[in-house]
């Protein structure tokens, strides 16, 4: 396991603090606004960021993120622009953990070895590929390790001990815990056994367990923490707030900062 900026998250969790890593879709509502949104989340107190790379067929994303991704792509966002996006955030927040969520097709299309090297050089800490099963991570894992990056993996309510063992071979940074089956989105229908899932995870992993999928409010965040999460990731709600904050060509950070501060207070 490499030593990345995730150590800052590990330290907070060890001290009993909940961590918040909101999701930002690069290029939405446009490139400049998405960068402004990311900076607003940082200013609001985010402990890390999950950066989304727009894709036409996002199998794990709900309708809000899928629609936003298509808007970003229709406006001309290219995968190569994520490098400059990461560089800008790394300059703005030198110690903040940055995780990229990208579908596997993009990684392969860009030449995995070159793309991962470029991401690492830009300042990325971790790579989450939701449609890459851990059973097939052996090709990508050496590339991330070579470049000082972590691989982030998803654990779902259906994950069994055999899957846990495979993930443990490759996982770094944190464990992304899916709190409900299906696609992500702003819903409160969490798995009925979510508390038991976090207990199982903590018997198999030493990494922080960060909850995602369906979380949007401070109450949701408190609920996840009471069920054993070490923190939360919020995506669709951030997309909604970005839309509300974008008027023509002007972007106001106030809503994102306020929401971030409320989530942090709930943790």
Query: Cα–Cα distances in Å, from 96 out to 21, 48, 49, 67?
Result: 10, 5, 8, 28
> CA-to-CA distance for 42 and 21, rounded, in angstroms?
10
Q: What is the token pair recorded at 148? A: 């000082």
- Asked whether the beta carbons of 242 and 29 are under 8 A apart, the reply is yes
Q: Is residue 61 annotated as part of the catalytic site, yes or no?
A: yes
Could you give the 3-state DSSP secondary structure of residue 50?
strand
Pick the catalytic residue: 30, 47, 61, 125? 61
The closest alpha carbon to 238, from 23, 21, 54, belongs to: 23
CB atoms inside a 10 Å sphere around CB 221: 24
The closest alpha carbon to 129, from 163, 89, 171, belongs to: 171
- Give the residues across from 50 on adjacent strands: 23, 99
Pick the catalytic residue: 32, 43, 47, 50? 50
Report, as residue numbers or ranges, the catalytic residues.
50, 61
């Amino acid at each position: 396991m490499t030593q990345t900026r995730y150590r800052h998250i590990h330290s907070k969790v060890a001290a009993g603090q909940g961590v918040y890593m909101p999701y930002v879709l690069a290029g939405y509502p446009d490139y400049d606004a998405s960068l402004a949104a990311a900076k607003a989340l940082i200013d609001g107190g985010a402990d890390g960021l999950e950066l989304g790379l727009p894709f036409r067929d996002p199998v794990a994303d709900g309708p809000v993120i899928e629609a936003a991704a298509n808007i970003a792509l229709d406006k001309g966002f290219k995968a190569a622009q994520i490098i400059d996006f990461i560089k800008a955030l790394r300059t703005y927040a030198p110690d903040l953990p940055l995780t990229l969520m990208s579908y596997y097709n993009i990684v392969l299309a860009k030449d995995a070895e070159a793309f991962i090297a470029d991401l690492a050089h830009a300042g990325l800490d971790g790579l989450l590929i939701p449609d890459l099963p851990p059973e097939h991570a052996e090709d990508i894992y050496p590339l991330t390790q070579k470049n000082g990056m972590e691989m982030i993996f998803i654990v779902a309510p259906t994950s069994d001990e055999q899957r846990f063992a495979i993930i443990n071979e490759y996982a770094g940074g944190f464990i992304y815990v899916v709190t409900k089956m299906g696609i992500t989105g702003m819903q409160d229908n969490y798995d009925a056994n979510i508390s038991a899932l976090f207990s199982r995870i903590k018997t198999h992993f030493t990494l922080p367990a960060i909850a995602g999928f369906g979380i949007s409010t401070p109450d949701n965040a408190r609920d996840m923490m009471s069920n054993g999460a070490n923190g939360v990731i919020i995506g669709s709600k951030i997309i909604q707030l970005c839309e509300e904050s974008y008027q023509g060509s002007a972007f106001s950070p106030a809503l994102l900062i306020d929401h971030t501060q409320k989530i942090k207070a709930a943790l």
